[in-house]
């Protein structure tokens, strides 16, 4: 799964953090997305989380938008 690989690349997350990231990813991924699109999505979710967005609803909402917006 793209989110787990990206999370491992970004740093160490505990199991509850990985579960949160995976839930956000599952809600945001779309059928038919390319591997690159899913990796970009995973990167956005992780970047937002690492920037301090720890509320699941807010993380999902912000991760729908491209980074830097």
pLDDT tens digits along 31-49: 999 999 999 999 999 999 9
Within a domain: 31: yes
Within a domain: 68: no
- Summarize the confidence of residues 40-66 as an average pLDDT: 93
DSSP state of 52: T
Q: Mean of the per-residue pLDDT values for the chain?
A: 88
- pLDDT the model gives residue 14: 85
Give the model's confidence band at 7: pLDDT under 50 very low, under 70 low, under 90 confident, else very high.
confident
Q: How many domains does the chain have?
A: 1
Within a domain: 69: no
Within a domain: 48: yes
Give the model's confidence band at 26: pLDDT under 50 very low, under 70 low, under 90 confident, else very high.
very high
Domain coverage including residue 8:
2-63
CA separation for the pair 38, 57 (Å, rounded): 19
């Amino acid at each position: 799964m793209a989110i787990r690989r990206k999370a491992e690349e970004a740093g160490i997350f505990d199991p509850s953090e990985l579960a949160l990231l995976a839930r956000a990813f599952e809600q945001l991924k779309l059928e038919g997305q390319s591997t690159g699109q899913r990796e970009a999505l995973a990167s956005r979710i992780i970047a937002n989380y690492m920037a301090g967005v720890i509320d699941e609803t807010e993380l999902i909402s912000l991760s729908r938008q491209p980074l830097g917006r």
